[in-house]
Amino acid sequence: MKKDLLGIGDLTRDEIYLVLDTAEAMREIAERPIKKVPTLRGKTVVNLFYEPSTRTRTSFEIAEKRLSADTLNVAVAVSSVQKGETLVDTARNIEAMAPDMIVIRHASSGAPHLLSRVCKSRIINAGDGMHEHPTQALLDAFTIREHKKRIEGLKVTIVGDLLHSRVLRSNVLLLTQLGAEVWVSGPPTLVPVGIERLGVKVSSSVDEAVTDADVIMMLRIQNERMHGAFFPSVREYFNVFGMTEARVRRAKPDVIIMHPGPMNRGVEIASEVADGPYSVILEQVANGVAVRMAVLYLLAGGQEGD
Amino acid sequence: MPIVLDADRIGRSLTRIAHEILERNRSLDELALVGIRTRGVPIAKRIAAAIHDENGHDVPTGALDITLYRDDLMRHAVGPQPLVRKTEIGFSIDDKRILLVDDVLYTGRTIRAALDALIDFGRPKSIQLIVLVDRGHRELPIKADYVGKNIPTSPSQSVQVHLLEIDGRDEVEVTEP
C-alpha cells in the first residue's frame, strides 16, 4: 500500500483484494463480547470533516476505536476554519501535534491530495467533492462479493445523479478494474461528458440498464451540490429514474439493491425497494466499519522504500 | 537439513498428547481446543480426532489469528503489514478449559498475544498450552503443559514444521542460517 489512500485509482487489483480479505477478518471482531483489539494502541487519528456526515464519520470513528486508536474529531463548524484559516494551515497545525493519520472529508475535489503533499501523516480520503470516496467503493465491493462470491463478470447498474457523485467515480474505477460490466443511467443533465471513457455503458433508459443486472446501485440526488435546474420535478425524476419494484423485476431474480445513503425515499428509490428483501443497504453500513478497519490497519504499517 | 520428527513421530506425539489430555482432565465437557493460525489449527484438529478415536467424545475446536495482538506490529514501520486472517471460535469460551495449540514454542510472544486475544472472547476456567515442538529460548514466563518434543536449538537456527494439510507432508526440520 502507498502512504495514503486518496482514491481507488491508486490501488492495484491485488491491493483491493488485500483490503477486502483483511476486512473479512476484521468483521468477526464486531461479534465478540469485547469489540476491540489492541492493534493501533498509541496511534492518533484525526477525523477532519469539512462536510456534514453521519454515516462515514461514525463508521470511521467506530473503526478507529475498535482498533484502539486515539481519535479526535474536528468539527469544522466550531473550529478556526470559521475564522478564515486555510486548509493547509489547519492541516499544518494539526500535524504539529503529531497525529499518525488524518481522515478528511472535504467539499473540494483534491483536498486530500493537497494534504498528502504537506503532511507526513497518513491521509485517508473520506470523500472529496465530486472526485472520489474510496472507502465507500471498497465497502460496496465487499458487500457485492459477499453476496455474489465474485465481482468479475457481474452486471452492475448504477442509477442516479452521476454528475455530482464521488461514489460513482470510485465504484466505476474499482468495479471495472475487477472485471465487472458496469452500466450507468441518469438524466442527460446529470451524466458527465465523456463518462464512457471510464469503460462503462451509458443508457438513458433505466429499464434497459437494469435488465438482467446482478447488482443495482442507486445514487442520491445531491441537492446541496446542484446550482441550477437539472430535472423538472422530483415527481418526474422518480417516474423516469426512480427504482420501483417493477424496475427491479427486470433484473436477475437474485439481484441486490445498494445505496450509499442517505436515501431520499420516493425520489431515487421507492420505500418498498429500500426495505425489500433484496435490499442490502444496512449490510453496507455494517461492512463499512470492517472495511475501514482494514484500511486503517493496512496504512498503519510501513511502505516499501521507507 | 536434519529432520528431527518424521510423519510417524509426529503422529505418535499427537496421540500421546491426546492421552495425556484425557488423563489430566476428568471432565471432558468443559474442554475446547483453540489452534493458533496457521499450523496450530490442523494440529488442534488432529488432537480432537485422536480424542474422538479414543473415547468418542467431540471436543469443540476453533481457530485463533493473533496478528492484531502482536507486540511487534507497529514498532518498526518497515514493509507491509502482516496478513490478518479470520478468527473462528464457534463456541463460548466462558467457563471452558481451553487447550491452546501451536506448532513451535520459542520466545513465548505468540502465546502472550494469544492469551490476550482469548481473554477478549470471554473468561475461560483455565488455559493450557499444547505445542508440537518446544525449542527453548523463552523471553517471557510461559511454559507448555503438553509438549510433542523438546528440541534444543541455537537462536540462529530455524525450526520448520510442515503439515500434510498445509504443506503436503508431515515433517519437522531444523535448518541452519
Interchain CB distance below 8 Å, A25 and B86: yes
Give me the mean pLDDT over the A88-109 stretch. Answer: 92
Q: How confident is the model at residue A303 (pLDDT cuts 50, 70, 90)?
A: low
* B2 found inside a domain: no
Q: Is B68 on the interface with A (CB under 8 A)?
A: yes
- Tell me the domains of chain A and their CATH numbers: 8-132+285-300 (3.40.50.1370), 134-284 (3.40.50.1370)
Q: What is the DSSP string of A126-151?
A: EEETTTB-HHHHHHHHHHHHHHHS--
Give me the mean pLDDT over the A135-161 stretch. Answer: 97
State the Cα–Cα distance between residues B125 and B121, nearest whole angstrom: 13
Q: Is B93 on the interface with A (CB under 8 A)?
A: no
Query: Residue B48 belongs to a domain with what CATH number?
Result: 3.40.50.2020
Provide, as residue numbers in chain A, all residues whose Cβ is less than 8 Å from the Cβ of B76.
Answer: 302
Interchain CB distance below 8 Å, A26 and B122: no
Chain B residue with minimum CA distance to A2: B80
pLDDT of A43-61, one tens digit each? Answer: 999 999 998 888 999 999 9
Q: What integer pLDDT is reported at residue A224 of this predicted model? A: 76
Amino acid symbol at A86: T
Is the entire prediction scored with pTM above 0.90? Answer: yes
A150 pLDDT above the threshold of 90: yes
pLDDT of B28-53, one tens digit each? Answer: 999 999 999 999 999 999 999 999 99
Q: What is the dihedral of CA B36, B37, B42, B45, to 10 degrees?
A: 40
Percent of all residues in chain A with a pLDDT value above 90, rounded to a whole number = 81
Chain B residue with minimum CA distance to A34: B120
Q: What integer pLDDT is reported at residue B75 of this predicted model? A: 66
Q: How confident is the model at residue A299 (pLDDT cuts 50, 70, 90)?
A: very high
Q: In what order do the strands lie in the sheet with B146-150?
A: B61-64, B31-36, B97-105, B126-134, B146-150
Q: How confident is the model at residue B71 (pLDDT cuts 50, 70, 90)?
A: confident
Q: Is A290 on the interface with B (CB under 8 A)?
A: no
Q: Which residues contact A81 (CB under 8 A, 6 or more apart)?
A: A50, A90
Number of compact structural domains in chain B: 1
Q: How confident is the model at residue B65 (pLDDT cuts 50, 70, 90)?
A: very high
Chain A residue with minimum CA distance to B70: A39
- Of the candidates A60, A108, A37, A53, the one whose C-alpha atom is nearest the C-alpha of residue A295 is A60
State the Cα–Cα distance between residues A65 and A145, nearest whole angstrom: 26
Place of cell 488455559: B127
Q: How confident is the model at residue A78 (pLDDT cuts 50, 70, 90)?
A: low
State how far Cα A25 lies from the chain centre. Answer: 20
Q: What integer pLDDT is reported at residue B46 of this predicted model? A: 98
Interchain CB distance below 8 Å, B86 and A36: no
Chain B residue with minimum CA distance to A38: B69
Q: What integer pLDDT is reported at residue A304 of this predicted model? A: 47
Place of cell 503422529: B11
Give me the mean pLDDT over the A182-188 stretch. Answer: 96
Full domain range(s) for residue B24? 8-70+83-155
Is the bond preceding B124 in cis, omega lying within 30 degrees of 0?
Answer: no
State the Cα–Cα distance between residues B45 and B51, nearest whole angstrom: 10
Q: What integer pLDDT is reported at residue B59 of this predicted model? A: 97
Q: What integer pLDDT is reported at residue A305 of this predicted model? A: 43
* B124 found inside a domain: yes
Per the structure block, which three cell numbers stand in for B175? 535448518
* B165 found inside a domain: no
Q: How confident is the model at residue A35 (pLDDT cuts 50, 70, 90)?
A: very high
Average pLDDT, rounded, for chain A = 93
Give me the mean pLDDT over the B156-169 stretch. Answer: 96
Higher pLDDT: A79 or B127? It is B127
Q: Is A42 on the interface with B (CB under 8 A)?
A: yes
Q: How confident is the model at residue A74 (pLDDT cuts 50, 70, 90)?
A: confident
* Helix spans in A12-131 (H): 13-27, 55-66, 87-96, 111-118
How many C-beta atoms surround the C-beta of residue A173 within 10 A?
Answer: 22
State the Cα–Cα distance between residues B1 and A53, nearest whole angstrom: 59
Interface probe with B: pick from A11, A29, A37, A45, most Cβ of B within 10 Å:
A37
Interchain CB distance below 8 Å, A25 and B81: no
Per the structure block, which three cell numbers stand in for B124? 475461560
